[in-house]
Amino acid sequence: MNGTDFFYFQEHGALFIIIYILLFLTFLAFIFGLLLMKRLNEERLINEQQKTDLIKFKLAVQNVYDIIMISDGAGRILFVNKMFEVTTFFRVGEIVGHNLSEALVEHLPADFLENMLRTVLRENMMFDGETSAKRKNGEEYFLKINISPIFDEYGKTVFCVAIMRDVSKEKEIEQAKSDFVSIVSHQLRTPLTVIKGYVSMLKESGFGALSDQQRVILSKVYDSNEHLINLVQDLLNMSRIEAGRIKYDFEEGQLEDVANNIVEEMTNVAKEKGLYLKYEKPTSPLPKVRVDKEKIRQVIINFIDNAIKYTPQGGLTVSLSTVADHVRFEVSDTGLGIKEDEMNNLFNKYSRGSDDSSKTKTIKGTGLGLYVAKMMVEAHKGVIGASSDGENKGSIFYFEIPVIKK
């Protein structure tokens, strides 16, 4: 650089720097513009996809058989599909934007609605229930409701999604089945009782002496008739329970008073099969419970009878004890045990374990006894359960009833 160039740069250098800076900033702006355009284009595609997804979602929920209702975390209704109008006869505009408690107060029973809102909005838990409800014209029907709270990343409820279904037709079918079972059972009970009486008289030589062969045959007739009587009784109990027609006569009492006589009666049944029946009586009087003695008698008989049936050798032990604030009745046996995959269905209707097992095929049963027992124990606000270490390792059946608090 000669002297002239130096003085020229010294005089105009600042201008060159400014030009360079402007060119650099222009370049940065160009790059930023490209990035911004790319981002805006991506957002546009995302928004278009979201709009498409939303349209698909609305089409889906608007045309499902169930009522779909969405509220915010405070219970304000944000969306309801058209099935709500079809089912309830209320207009969507009558409830959207309103609080659940206001919108459904004329639709659902007050105690059911209160429990539902408390579970979902205050306790932040899922709710599942079934209740009678009223349409806008006053007509009653049955509604099954499932509500799930939706949480944000901090665990706060932001939405609640409710799925509701009109189950009136299903209820009508269940009622028709229950009525049919009840009628048939009533018609069968009387002739079966008469047969039992006459067979008993024949066995006791009430109509003349019998040969040994005749006695064996009559014993088989008597046992089969007794099985049918028990089946009819279980069917009647089931139909009454499911229809809500079973009556309970609760009174204060002690569980050992009910158990003592039953154990004495069933001891001979166990001996006839070559089994022992050990009764571990409580060493001191148990706390009093609120109990329907006849219903609990049926439960105890079912437990002991099942233990005898499913125990080919050894025996069973019956015990009574106090567990926390409950009185516990327990039957343990040395029998066939329970497979792990059968445990969950044990107290369901018509559940009888492994029917394919050669050891259980010959055991008579209806699969209703434990289901009826569960319903009866729960009516006492009690719990029922079973445990087993596995096949051929015996089992334990128990129920617990809360003691009367002083």
Task: Indicate whether 192 and 324 sit together in one domain.
Answer: no
Give the CA distances from residue 340 to residues 36, 344, 361, 399, in Å, rounded to whole numbers and listed in that order: 61, 8, 19, 20
Domain co-membership, 310 together with 222: no
CA atoms within 13 A on the CB side of 355: 7
Are the C-beta atoms of residues 333 and 303 closer than 8 Å to each other?
no
What's the whole-number mean pLDDT along residues 20-44? 76
The pLDDT value recorded for residue 398 is 96
Whether 256 and 378 map to the same domain: the answer is yes
Last residue of a domain, one of 114, 144, 166: 166
State the DSSP H helix or E strand holding residue 399, giving kind and residue range, or none if neither: strand 395-402
- Asked whether residue 352 is assigned to any structural domain, the reply reads yes
Q: Tell if the pTM clears 0.95, that is, is over it.
A: no
- Quote the CA–CA distance of 68 and 133 in Å, as a whole number: 16
Residues 323 and 358 in one domain: yes
The larger pLDDT score, comparing residue 90 to residue 364, is at 90
More confident residue, 43 or 304: 304
For residue 116, what is the domain's CATH number? 3.30.450.20
Same domain, 77 and 217: no
Burial class (CB in 10 A: 0-12, 13-18, 19+), 263: buried
| Listed residues 166, 192, 213: the one ending a domain | 166
Whether residue 208 sits in one domain with residue 82: no
| Helices and strands per DSSP (H, E), number in the chain | 9, 12
Q: What is the structure's pLDDT at 251?
A: 93
Cα separation values, 21 from 11, 17, 56, 203, 321, Å: 18, 6, 52, 119, 92
| Statement to judge: residues 256 and 398 lie in one domain | yes
Query: Quick one: 261 and 389 in the same domain?
Result: yes
pLDDT of residue 366: 65
Instruction: Specify the number of domains making up the chain.
Output: 3
Task: State how far the Cα of 85 lies from the Cα of 219, in Å rounded to an integer.
Answer: 63
Mean pLDDT of 27-47: 75
CATH number of the domain to which 220 belongs = 1.10.287.130
Listing DSSP states for 180-192 in one string gives HHHHHHHHHHHHH
pLDDT at 16 over 70: no
296 and 265 inside one domain? yes
Does some domain include residue 18?
no
With respect to residue 302, please indicate whether it lies within any of the assigned structural domains: yes
Are both 209 and 237 inside the same structural domain? yes
105 within domain boundaries: yes
Which pLDDT band holds residue 322 (cuts at 50, 70, 90)?
A: very high
Quickly state the pLDDT bin for 166 (edges 50, 70, 90). Answer: very high
Query: Among 122, 140, 166, where does a domain finish?
Result: 166
Q: Is residue 10 in some structural domain?
A: no
Pair (277, 382) in one structural domain: yes
Is 285 part of a structural domain of the chain? yes
State the average pLDDT over residues 232-236. 78
Query: In this predicted model, what pLDDT tens digit does every residue of 123-140 receive, in sequence order?
Result: 889 999 999 999 989 899
Q: Over the stretch 334-385, which tens digit does the pLDDT of each residue have?
A: 999 988 888 888 888 776 655 445 555 556 666 788 988 999 999 999 999 9
CATH code of the domain covering residue 297: 3.30.565.10
User: Lowest-confidence range among 1-15, 166-180, 269-283?
Assistant: 1-15
Q: How confident is the model at residue 299 (pLDDT cuts 50, 70, 90)?
A: very high
Tell whether the model's pLDDT for residue 178 goes beyond 90: no
H or E segment to which residue 331 belongs: strand 326-333
Confidence of residue 4 (pLDDT cuts 50, 70, 90): low
Q: Which domain holds residue 271?
A: 251-402
Is residue 21 in a domain? Answer: no
Same structural domain, 127 and 208: no
234 found inside a domain: yes
Dihedral class, residue 366 (left if φ above 0, else alpha if ψ from -120 to 50, else beta): alpha
Of residues 388, 387, 381, 332, the one with CA closest to residue 400: 381
**Highest averaged pLDDT of the listed ranges 42-51, 199-208, 231-240, 266-275:** 266-275
